[in-house]
Structure 1
Amino acid sequence: MDSSVSQQWLLLLLISTAVIVFARADLPGTWELLVENAGVSSMHTAVTRFNTVVLLERTNIGPSRKMLRKGHCRSDPNDAVLKQDCYAHSVLFDPQTNQIRPLMINTDTWCSSGQFLPDGSLLQTGGDLDGFKKIRKFDPCELNGSCDWVELADVELSEGRWYSTNQILPDGSVIIVGGRAANTVEYYPPRTGAVSLNFLADVEDTQMDNLYPYVHLLPNGHLFIFANNKAVSYDHVVDKIVREYPQLDGGPRNYPSAGSSAMLALDGDYSTAVIVVCGGAQYGAFIERSTDTPAHGSCGRIVATSPDPVWEMEDMPFGRIMGDMVMLSTGDVLIINGAQAGTQGFEQASNPCLYPLLYRPDQPVGLRFMTLNPGTVPRMYHSTANLLPDGRVLIAGSNPHYSYKFNAEFPTELRLEAFSPEYLGPDRGNLRPVIEGVPETVRYGERFDVLVSVSLPVVGIVEVNLGNAPFATHSFSQGQRLVKLAVAPSVPDGDGRYRITCTAPPNGMVAPPGYYMAFAVNQGVPSVARWIHLGS
């Protein structure tokens, strides 16, 4: 190749690179590194009503990168790595100050489950080894408080739970669904022990794709339970399957095939619930331990409350496994983290999917997905994503190895990042409302006022939306929910303030009792949330 041709090719390469960089920089959303070293690689993450975040990993992998307080070591003669473990495997994080405090947890929480109770405490169930039947609680506090994990001594699971799913129910109790070799459900507080759910046994195959089933509480009080490629409606009052849904095409979706699922925002008369299931691995990739089998990008969407439900299919711009679906305060869904090949499991995936997607439910098929600004940190197996009260999304974890490994192709990840959707862009500041007043406690069906201020005059309706704090793990946010309240047009209240009269959800089937982040949303731009307690 002569020099003139070489120069032309080099110029073309430089132009192409510039275009790619410009296109990426021009995509919506921004990234922010919050903490270089969180001390632990979080596989379970939950946001508390004190605006702190609980990060939790497994306990039996040796030293973390955060020491416990002096004199607070864990003694376990059966631990294969450390008999005397003085390292934290859970921490409390404050995303406003980026400060971290170590927490003490005794039993193994590997691939466990969780859910917030009506009083705001975090229930945490199961795990591996000595954590198999354990029930734990964390009663949250501010970062400088003294709250810590408590292992419940007077109660345990009736059946060991590993890779199970928790969902809070209308009466404030919690159902615990499935788990490895546990084709049953049980409840906290306990009822009569484990109850068989043969549906989970029926869908189990050699890949175990019934693990971490997707569980959503429908507004009629029944549970939508999805495992592998099938779904049922389950009446938890009488412990009976009352409906079978059509099979979802595209292969298995649950662990280890690693799709994700979300129930879209409830609004209107709250009679309609729409479930979305996206992504997953090709069947056989896990059995063959294939790290380079391309993931698929198909999504199924179904009206679970319809008398004649069918799956509506569409494709994401990328094939993806281990993507986290985060319900934003606006009702859009952020899909973030994961990989484009392989399956869930230790060192079983490749080709990180760095591009987040915005799923816009109100758009027609073919226009629902928007590609967002890519990150730079691969977030593989054991990554999490959680909506923060300020509208950012906290990104944590990624430890696709049995223990910490920092010299691997995809190293153990201790960094915490925040992704800011486009609604937090600098051009949206004048539209962003500020909640000046909201009740701390609201009863079902109650009318109440929210006082907001906005820099520019309000045009149209200011929404008030309630989002709970789910327990995020293994590509599924357990209990995740967004409820759009019925609101009257905002009324000027002087000095740029507006009074919005809202009506609380009618019952616990629409919104189970507990703490919710209340967001005011003005023309697609949310406020910083204020926590309210909803109940009878």
Structure 2
Amino acid sequence: MGCDLSHPQWFLFLFVYVITVIHYCLFTRAQLPGTWEILVPNAGVSSMHTAVTRFNTVVLLDRTNIGPSRKMLRKGHCRFDPIDAVLKRDCYAHSVQLDLQTNQIRPLMILTDTWCSSGQFLPDGTLLQTGGDMDGVNKIRKFEPCEVNGSCDWVELNDVELVNGRWYATNQILPDGSVIIVGGRAANTVEFYPPRSDGAVSFPFLADVEDNQMDNLYPYVHLLPNGHLFIFANNKAVLYDYQRNTILKNYPPLDGGPRNYPSGGSSVMLSLQGDYSTAVIVVCGGAQYGAFIQRTTDTPAHGSCGRIVATELDPVWEMEDMPFGRIMGDMVMLPTGEVLIVNGAQSGTQGFEMASNPCLYPLLYRPDQPVGLRFMTLNPGIVPRMYHSTANLLPDGRVLIAGSNPHYFYKFNAEYPTELRIEAFSPEYLSADRANIRPTIEGIPETVRYGDVFDVVITVSLPVVGIVEVNLGNAPFATHSFSQGQRLVKLAVTPAIPDGDGQYKIGCTAPPNGMVAPPGYYMLFAVNQGVPSIARWIHLIA
């Protein structure tokens, strides 16, 4: 007997099958951890670079030579650029400030092109922003954040410039509070801010790992607790003594092909804890070699991750696979020490209109689990976040998701349009059923020095069981799938002692030196049974 689709039993079968599939999909999605929300329907700009300030505002920054954005500058404020191919007189904002309390957007004025630039916060909380393209390639800019009702704005430094032009470079704050600026296109050197007498210093490692599709851009730079730098580019890494300009160690190559721009992997240094002598680096994802050269959009990304104890004498990479191949994923250190991997695509490479198959599912990387159990798939979003998207930890424990513009200019009639919406992802630790164990910080000092012993006072609805962690998370500069300077430090603490009126007092010891935690402003989280408080900002000084 043939398949007669007109038979009533076939319609019944198809109906039951479709309902079952829909129910399964909805049920499965609903059971996955995490929730999404749209914070801002239209930010006016598509953020290529994002940073959170100590005033609980967010600075979002795009290119300047991109033509009209969807946010005007204040009346009477325009940028004049005779070499801009699109707008010689540009009255549109290319940077904005987001107030996290009201979700209101305020336009900011940026003068020179910040396309694929780099950044880092200085010890006083000022955002240092360096390089870019065209008239911005040698520029140094500063943004000194202010209260939300203030008028702080970008300032371009006229008395000092970069020695070498920096396009696709990486910044890292150092133990003394200065900043090292590493690499960039056709810039196989490092230099410092404030500038040093030796100017730009040759760093041949970047030239050695460069190939036909580059893959040495936006190198992954991590300050280790021994004071040296772990620098990763393409598929190789070195231990670099920046003070003597000496490579102390060549790490073994990482299997799986190139990871840096334009291959679109990502990297984090896991939380520093205990005696702070051990640093573990994780590098995940990337495009297949040749995808960028061939300009293909459908070559599957790989999902391999390498993990290495960078402070060991003879370290080796431990390999594992993510549930999804992923390029352009952002790795965000959560207050708990776990890592959120979000954004990106499953095919193609970095570059304008060179990726497809968006990866909507975030992953939670749990570093304390054994290989094979470290990745948890989370609730998917609905907004594709492709090339030029960002992710940043917020003081309330959510993760801000912004950007995505895979086009040379703003383009909205496309399969993956320029994205102006700003979202927030709430990890499972913010779910309603954990609210009664979420601590509230009632008091901390505004400033602490290295090695200081100080108290953190918290309240919790239910009695405290076990150790309440106190963890410091800095505010990195997120761009191109790497958060420059990202760091989480778990402090030595005493057990929480009841202090009357439902309060608890926790004794804490500040980090011992700037190698463990460079000077600056940090988000201080109290973490009770895996649930973080809303952070308070604390200033760590020498």
Amino acid paired to 2:525 = F
> Aligned equivalents of 1:293 and 1:348: distance in 2?
10
Q: CA offset at residue 143 of structure 1?
A: 2.0
Match of 2:199 among 190, 193, 197: 193
Amino acid paired to 2:216 = N
For residues 73-152 of structure 1, the aligned pairs below 5 Å read 73-152=78-157
> Aligned equivalents of 1:237 and 1:131: distance in 2?
28
Residue 227 of structure 1 pairs with residue 233 of structure 2: yes
Q: CA offset at residue 149 of structure 1?
A: 0.1
Match of 1:72 among 68, 72, 77: 77
Match of 1:260 among 255, 261, 266: 266
Residue 360 of structure 1 pairs with residue 369 of structure 2: no
| Residue aligning to 2:248 | 242
1:101-129 per-position Cα deviation (integer Å, ceiling 9, x unaligned)? 00000000000000000000000000000
1:8 counterpart SS class:
helix
> Aligned equivalents of 1:239 and 1:187: distance in 2?
12
Match of 1:426 among 432, 457, 468: 432
> Aligned equivalents of 2:390 and 2:101: distance in 1?
19
Amino acid paired to 2:10 = V
Q: CA offset at residue 275 of structure 1?
A: 0.1
Large movers: runs of 4+ above 6 Å: none
Contact 1:100 1:143 in 2 (8 A): no
> Aligned equivalents of 1:463 and 1:143: distance in 2?
30
Residue 61 of structure 1 pairs with residue 81 of structure 2: no
| Residue aligning to 1:42 | 47
> Aligned equivalents of 1:144 and 1:63: distance in 2?
26
1:276-298 per-position Cα deviation (integer Å, ceiling 9, x unaligned)? 00000000011001100000000
Which blocks of at least 5 consecutive residues in structure 2 are unaligned? none
Amino acid paired to 2:89 = Q
| Residue aligning to 2:488 | 482
Residue 409 of structure 1 pairs with residue 407 of structure 2: no
For residues 243-322 of structure 1, the aligned pairs below 5 Å read 243-322=249-328
Match of 2:218 among 198, 212, 223: 212
| Residue aligning to 1:23 | 28
| Residue aligning to 2:172 | 167
Q: CA offset at residue 14 of structure 1?
A: 2.0
Q: CA offset at residue 5 of structure 1?
A: 2.2
1:352-381 per-position Cα deviation (integer Å, ceiling 9, x unaligned)? 000000000000000000000000000000
> Aligned equivalents of 1:465 and 1:318: distance in 2?
30
Contact 1:391 1:527 in 2 (8 A): yes
1:20 counterpart SS class:
helix
> Aligned equivalents of 1:141 and 1:117: distance in 2?
15
Q: CA offset at residue 63 of structure 1?
A: 0.8
Q: CA offset at residue 18 of structure 1?
A: 1.2
> Aligned equivalents of 1:185 and 1:148: distance in 2?
28
| Residue aligning to 2:441 | 435
1:408-466 per-position Cα deviation (integer Å, ceiling 9, x unaligned)? 00000000000000000000100000000000000000100000000000000000000
> Aligned equivalents of 1:401 and 1:240: distance in 2?
40
Q: CA offset at residue 13 of structure 1?
A: 2.3
1:182-223 per-position Cα deviation (integer Å, ceiling 9, x unaligned)? 111000011121111111001000111000000000000000
Contact 1:101 1:143 in 2 (8 A): no
1:37-57 per-position Cα deviation (integer Å, ceiling 9, x unaligned)? 001000000000000000000
Amino acid paired to 1:507 = N
| Residue aligning to 1:331 | 337
Q: Indicate the larger mover: 357-366 or 14-23.
A: 14-23
1:414 counterpart SS class:
coil
Q: Indicate the larger mover: 71-80 or 215-224.
A: 71-80
> Aligned equivalents of 2:390 and 2:93: distance in 1?
19
Amino acid paired to 1:73 = C
1:124-170 per-position Cα deviation (integer Å, ceiling 9, x unaligned)? 00000000000000000122101000000110000000000000000
1:287 counterpart SS class:
helix
Q: CA offset at residue 11 of structure 1?
A: 1.7
Q: CA offset at residue 9 of structure 1?
A: 2.7
Match of 1:398 among 390, 401, 404: 404
> Aligned equivalents of 2:286 and 2:467: distance in 1?
38
Amino acid paired to 2:189 = T
State, as a whole percentage, how many aligned pairs show the same letter: 82
| Residue aligning to 2:469 | 463
> Aligned equivalents of 2:267 and 2:177: distance in 1?
23
Q: Indicate the larger mover: 308-317 or 3-12.
A: 3-12
> Aligned equivalents of 2:21 and 2:105: distance in 1?
43
Contact 1:442 1:532 in 2 (8 A): yes
Amino acid paired to 2:313 = P
Amino acid paired to 2:73 = L
Match of 2:521 among 511, 515, 520: 515
> Aligned equivalents of 1:96 and 1:10: distance in 2?
47
1:372-410 per-position Cα deviation (integer Å, ceiling 9, x unaligned)? 000000000000000000000000000000000000000
Residues matched between the structures, number: 536
| CA RMSD of superposed structures (Å) | 0.6
> Aligned equivalents of 1:520 and 1:381: distance in 2?
34
Q: Indicate the larger mover: 472-481 or 188-197.
A: 188-197
Amino acid paired to 1:321 = I
Contact 1:297 1:318 in 2 (8 A): yes
Contact 1:127 1:161 in 2 (8 A): yes
Residue 383 of structure 1 pairs with residue 392 of structure 2: no
